[in-house]
Amino acid sequence: MLTAVPIIHVGFCHSGTTSLQENLFSRRSDLFYAGVPYRELGGIFSYIKYQDTEQYDFAETTRLKNELILDKMQAHQRLIISDETLIEQPEIYYTPAMMPMRTIAERLYALFGRGIVLFTLRNQLRYVISNYLTLKKNYATLANRTIEPFDAWFAGNHDQVRNLFLRNLDPSNAIKIYQSVFGTEAVHVLPLELLLTEGTKAYLDRLGEITGLEISGAEAKQYTPRNASPSHDIMLNAEQRAIIRRRSMWGNAFVMRQFGLPLRDYGYPLPD
């Protein structure tokens, strides 16, 4: 049985998630870090994310949770789940079809109960380019394939009602789903731009306020942001910027109001 409220970090991609996982979540002895959605934990996360409703085996998933997580946790540890592919597509060529986000959220709640839900967020104008660059790298490395140029990729994604890799240009959709499942007060948003504009200490202090974790000065000093995007010469043109703004601005406005975040100061697309 969990003795402390778990922390469930569900995304978004390209918002400093890997830096948090590598610098903090996986290093603290007071946390049981469940953030590698393959190897021995692959079954749990695969069932949650990909198994059709009629095939979903809650009893087996619960057994795996007990065996691979709860039975291995020490008494002083607190569970942290950190997997951005709970709401984002894995950036691989042969990516499986995910369950609807509400289904995933409901399965997490049924398995782990009430928790603190953390969304990390990034300006969509940068998120889109980072998404493409990671896909390009993974296509070449893992599938030995060349992805189409950015302009063709972007055109093919943004004109779909339901796409694979830009489904979260409007961040409010996923956030509202998790609020409806876990409760409004349980859901929090931490923008990457806080780290970039105010520094590591302010960023980690805010993370500590959200999660209840005490962040030491040494942790802040040793925190090394990880930039997974290679150098590039991609520049969004006016039409692409307008499309991203149109699809993200009202969701950003909701996040700005709901969580009191200075997204306009951070350059996020917003209504005038």
Q: What is the pLDDT along the chain (272 residues), one digit of tens a residue?
A: 566 899 999 989 999 998 999 999 999 999 999 987 666 777 788 899 999 999 999 999 999 999 999 999 999 999 999 998 899 988 888 888 889 999 999 999 999 999 999 999 999 999 999 999 999 999 999 899 999 999 999 999 888 777 888 989 999 999 999 999 999 999 999 999 999 999 999 999 999 999 999 999 999 988 888 765 667 889 999 999 999 999 999 999 999 999 999 999 999 999 98
Beta strand spans in 106-216 (E): 116-121, 187-191
Phi, psi of 33 (to 5 degrees): -90, 110
Taking residue 272's Cβ as centre, other Cβ atoms within 10 Å add up to: 3
Q: Output the pTM of the full model.
A: 0.94
Distance, CA of 240 to CA of 236 (rounded, Å): 6
pLDDT at 1: 58
Domain architecture of the chain: domains with CATH:
7-259 (3.40.50.300)
Q: Which helix (H) or strand (E) holds 10?
A: strand 7-11
The answer to whether the beta carbons of residues 174 and 119 sit under 8 Å apart is: yes
Alpha-carbon gap, residue 148 to 183, rounded angstroms: 41
Which DSSP string do the residues of 104-129 spell out, in sequence order? HHHHHHHHH-S-EEEEEE--HHHHHH
Q: What is the pLDDT of residue 232?
A: 85
User: Cα–Cα distance between 84 and 88 in angstroms, integer?
Assistant: 6
In this structure, are residues 175 and 119 in contact, taking their beta carbons and an 8 Å threshold?
yes
Q: Tell me the two tokens of residue 84.
A: 């951005």
C-alpha pair distances (Å), 192 with each of 10, 12, 206: 15, 10, 11
Q: How far is CA 225 from CA 81, 86, 199, in A?
A: 20, 22, 11
> Which pLDDT value is given to residue 239?
97
Confidence at residue 106, expressed as pLDDT on a 0 to 100 scale: 98
Locate 78 and state its tokens: 């607190």
Instruction: Name the nearest CA neighbour of 196 among 122, 270, 256.
Output: 122
